[in-house]
Structure 1
Amino acid sequence: MIVNKNLDWRHVLFYTWKSLLYFVFLSIAVYTLHHVYDMEKLTVPFNVVALLSTALAIFLGFKNNSAYDRWWEARKIWGLLVNYSRAWGREVLTLSQHPDGKPNEELSAWQRRLIYRHIAFVHALRVFLRHRHAYNENGEEWMKTTNDYADIRPFLSEAEANEVLRKNNPPNYLLLIQGQELKEAYQKGWLSDYRFVQLDETLTEFNNHQGKSERIKNTPFPRPYSFFSRVFVYLHGTLVPFAFVEELGLLNIPLALLINFIFLSLDQIGETTEDPFENRPSDTPLTAISRTIEGNLKEMLGETQMPAKPEQVDGVVL
């Protein structure tokens, strides 16, 4: 997620430089043909371009609103995951007790195991949704540690971690293990009927959070929006130099570039926000949220060694 108020121009140009280069050469070619080779009929009525600009602005606005809705839904899902994770830690620690009511080392180990396994679940879900590393504007791997299944190993036994990572859906398998542990605790008398149901309902919410996230991940933004928005932006941008070349002359080149940059930026905003789990600078900050959950749960266990807060890299928190 980009947190700086001012965007880094390197990020902007990374997505737009090829298109801007096309429009620069096009504007130069139109000026040369019109003023050097006296092809005065090589123009387009201004009203045509103005009408197309209005229609394109409305279309891009609708597309960007829809893309933002996907980004905001992803953020709300992970915000609820934070809340339910805190509830899970509290319920595990306060609703489970030994039948004789006395402190019990086996029960304490069980509580810690369930909380640590949930931390592993959160990190596994983050990696499962992203599927790849982040890359910077040079195409080089960037902040590799933000998307690595090795992050779950400190919270599981070696045998359990190896077993989980052999599965096609590691976070879902972790929830299965959690359910099995709840069943064993119920059979030992550590959980009453009501308390077992309460913990199981919270566990079901984690299934819901994963399912909702997977729905966004696996359901692409309607491709006609992306395809036709890009076609219309290029069509509009190609016509712009022809509308101003006769009146503005050489000034037509920077003006056409400015107008096209605005529409390119609007189109790119939608492109970069429609898929919030791709580990890009503008995506939902899953790493930061995961570490927040980890810190909260460790604090509930009375631990003092907290995870490092994700650092900003070029104004971006992943």
Structure 2
Amino acid sequence: MLYYIILSVVVFLLHDHFQIMHLHLPFNTISALSTALAIFLGFKNNNAYDRWWEGRKIWGLLVNYSRAWTRQLINMILPTAPSEASEVKAFQKRMVYRHIAFVHALRVFLRRTHGYNETRQSEIYQEENDYADTKSFLSEREFQLFCHKNNPPNYLLELQGEDLRRAFERGWVSDFRFVKMEETLVEFNNIQGRSERIKNTPFPRQYSFFSRVFVFIHASLLPFVFIEELGWVSMPISVIISFVFLCLDLVGERSEDPFENRLEDVPLTDISLTIETNVKEQWGDKDFPKKKNVEGVVL
């Protein structure tokens, strides 16, 4: 913006005040470029928003399936004898709390920084570099193994599947219930895979690069178009129009990667805490987590 302001002032001084140079360009020069640039930015922003909205829908599904999974653990895993009631209760609790750990682990896993992303470290709020939020929901042995895995969330799903198989072998889960619960675990795999697809597939770089180049060219030509007819008014007019196109470009750029832990990204922390609260309430635990706010916004 500073460049656009200086350029408009220099063009005005050279053309109108000092009358050193005739710098006027015909209006048709900028009208064709403006139309093409608007179409290009609209296409870029629509696709960037689609990526953001898909990420939000994926995590909305995670909320729904988390509630369903907790209900299945409570109602479908049943002891075969009264003497097994306490053992089954501890087994259910372990699986319920391990799922909360999976949700937090997936959030941290998706927020890893990739080299292609141009986000500066100072723009990332409360950068999460470890899985400390999961420690209280796992046994010490599970947590130690979990921290050394290449894909920690997937490891927790593997543990869930192994425990589900043991429950089936003990007779706590019938054939039909085992199949239904395994289908829910598969949905968690699908949710993670779809999130990773967005995270690991950057928006084509040519859109970000050329949109910035086109905005720069367009804004650089604006003062030369308006200077003849508007005089000094061309300075604020050209700066305002440049600001609008620059904002359109930045909106698309900051929407294309929804899992970078910025204020405008999908609020994974808020959704994770919502899931933790819902799951704990279903289990009967009243120790609900508090929302984490950064500058008044829940991440």
Structure 1: 5+ residue stretches without partners:
1-19
TM-score (norm 1): 0.88
Deviation at 1:59, TM superposition (A): 1.4
Distance in 2, matches of 1:188 and 1:103, equals 10
Correspondence for 1:143: 126
Structure 2: 5+ residue stretches without partners:
114-118
Distance in 2, matches of 1:102 and 1:293, equals 32
Specify the code of the residue in structure 2 equivalent to 1:143.
Answer: Q
- 8 A Cα contact 1:126 1:147, kept in partner: no
- 8 A Cα contact 2:124 2:261, kept in partner: no
Deviation at 1:139, TM superposition (A): 2.6
Deviation at 1:62, TM superposition (A): 1.4
Of residues 11, 16, 29, the one that matches 2:10 is: 29
Of residues 152, 155, 158, the one that matches 1:170 is: 152
User: What are the equivalent positions in structure 2 for 1:141-220 lying under 5 Å apart?
Assistant: 142-144=125-127, 148-220=130-202
Distance in 1, matches of 2:149 and 2:120, equals 33
Distance in 2, matches of 1:140 and 1:237, equals 26
Distance in 1, matches of 2:197 and 2:123, equals 29
- 8 A Cα contact 2:125 2:261, kept in partner: no
- 8 A Cα contact 2:105 2:152, kept in partner: yes
User: What are the equivalent positions in structure 2 for 1:7-46 lying under 5 Å apart?
Assistant: 20-46=1-27
Correspondence for 1:108: 89
Deviation at 1:48, TM superposition (A): 1.2
Distance in 1, matches of 2:30 and 2:83, equals 79
Distance in 1, matches of 2:17 and 2:213, equals 30
Distance in 1, matches of 2:222 and 2:272, equals 46
Distance in 2, matches of 1:58 and 1:84, equals 39
1:123 matches 2:83: no
TM-score (norm 2): 0.93
Distance in 1, matches of 2:139 and 2:236, equals 62
Distance in 1, matches of 2:36 and 2:214, equals 10
- 8 A Cα contact 2:9 2:235, kept in partner: yes
Correspondence for 1:5: none
Deviation at 1:120, TM superposition (A): 0.3
Q: Evaluate the alpha carbon distance shift between residue 315 and residue 243 of structure 1 in structure 2; reply closer, same or farther with a 3 A threshold.
A: farther
Specify the code of the residue in structure 1 equivalent to 2:251.
Answer: I
Correspondence for 1:81: 62
Of residues 227, 230, 251, the one that matches 2:209 is: 227
Q: What is the identity percentage for the equivalent residue pairs of Structure 1 and Structure 2? A: 58
Q: Evaluate the alpha carbon distance shift between residue 154 and residue 187 of structure 1 in structure 2; reply closer, same or farther with a 3 A threshold.
A: same
Distance in 1, matches of 2:185 and 2:264, equals 30
Correspondence for 2:277: 295
Deviating beyond 4 angstroms after TM superposition, the runs of 4 or more aligned structure 1 residues are none
Distance in 2, matches of 1:174 and 1:139, equals 31
Distance in 2, matches of 1:61 and 1:141, equals 26
Specify the code of the residue in structure 2 equivalent to 1:63.
Answer: K
1:236 matches 2:218: yes
Distance in 2, matches of 1:182 and 1:39, equals 83
Cα-to-partner distance string for 1:60-91 (whole Å, 9 max, x where unaligned): 11111111111111000000000000000000
1:63 matches 2:44: yes
Cα-to-partner distance string for 1:130-184 (whole Å, 9 max, x where unaligned): 115xxx999376335x664101001001221111011111001110111111111
Distance in 2, matches of 1:141 and 1:263, equals 25
Distance in 2, matches of 1:306 and 1:202, equals 24
